Amino acid sequence: DVKVTQSSRYLVKRTGEKVFLECVQDMDHENMFWYRQDPGLGLRLIYFSYDVKMKEKGDIPEGYSVSREKKERFSLILESASTNQTSMYLCASSGPVPLAGGSYEQYFGPGTRLTVT
Amino acid sequence: SQQGEEDPQALSIQEGENATMNCSYKTSINNLQWYRQNSGRGLVHLILIRSNEREKHSGRLRVTLDTSKKSSSLLITASRAADTASYFCATGNTDKLIFGTGTRLQVFP
């Protein structure tokens, strides 16, 4: 079974702190993603990565950065946390074999609920 | 940019009833996926339907796709309390998926 793990289920940080969210997958997937999920807004893509040391901006990258030094690990960094970054953060991975039609099934971690006070 | 919009936003039914949720999207697609999310957890893939398919079944799930209307529906038959979750459609023609806003389904015993 594919396993995607996230470093924390719940996290409370103060405004201005630097925050690291870690995600690890054990299926040798090339693709990894970070989303945030807010009520009424669904999942919004922050950043994604197709390979080690590669990253692409998603729909809402402002205030975030990412790091992918190893294939299995994708980190999301909040350089200076703000209260509007309080949210549920979901990591996902996919690949290497696509489903029919060319899309990939994404495998999700359990999520990190981050509160910034 | 949100590609999919689910309807209704929330749905409450009794065990044994059928649950239908709908998804509308904006651009042309090669396929559409449905995912399920239990409360406070990550999403789990349920089923994929290709653009040249009109209907697909998997157990108690039935998915339809109408590309002319840019819409899809997910039907859960004979629902169970364990089906209580949020359901999301997702579209994407490459590695990246765009998720809808989700339907929260509550099934009462």
* Tens digits of residue pLDDT in B10-61: 999 999 999 999 999 998 888 899 999 999 889 999 999 999 999 999 999 9
* Tens digits of residue pLDDT in A87-99: 999 999 998 777 7
Q: Which residue of B has its CA nearest to A103?
A: B94
Q: Which residue of A has its CA nearest to B43?
A: A108
Q: How far is A79 from chain B (nearest CA, A)?
A: 24
* Tens digits of residue pLDDT in A32-70: 999 999 988 889 999 999 999 899 999 999 999 999 999
pLDDT of A116 above 50: yes
Nearest CB to A42 within list B44, B95, B102: B102
pLDDT of residue A34: 98
| Rounded-to-integer distance, Cα A61 and Cα A44, Å | 10
Q: How far is A109 from chain B (nearest CA, A)?
A: 5
Of A32, A40, A38, give the one whose Cα is nearest residue A114: A38
In a mutational test of the B interface, the residue from A2, A106, A112 whose CB has the highest number of chain B CBs within 10 Å is A106
- Angle, vertex CA B63, rays to CA B60 and CA B66, nearest 5: 165
pLDDT of residue A2: 66
pLDDT of residue B7: 87
Distances (CA, A) of A72 to A26, A38, B13, B17, B55: 6, 26, 41, 42, 36
Distances (CA, A) of A23 to A53, A66, A107, B38: 15, 11, 12, 20
Average pLDDT over residues A2-13: 93
| Rounded-to-integer distance, Cα A35 and Cα A38, Å | 10
End-to-end CA distance of chain B: 37
Confirm or reject contact between A28 and chain B (CB < 8 A): no
Confirm or reject contact between A60 and chain B (CB < 8 A): no
Mean pLDDT across chain B, nearest whole number? 92
CA A54 distance to own-chain centroid: 14
pLDDT of residue B92: 81
CB contact under 8 A, A40 and B101: yes
CB contact under 8 A, B95 and A90: no
| Rounded-to-integer distance, Cα B65 and Cα B80, Å | 24
- Scanning the structure block, which residue is given the tokens 């040249």? B52
Average pLDDT over residues B57-76: 96
Mean pLDDT across chain A, nearest whole number? 93
Confirm or reject contact between A108 and chain B (CB < 8 A): yes
Among A16-20, A72-76, A88-92, A104-108, the range scoring the smallest mean pLDDT is A104-108
pLDDT of residue B40: 84
Query: A101 φ, ψ to 5°?
Result: 90, 0
CB contact under 8 A, A103 and B33: yes
pLDDT of B1 above 50: no
Chain B positions touching A108 (Cβ under 8 A) are 42-44
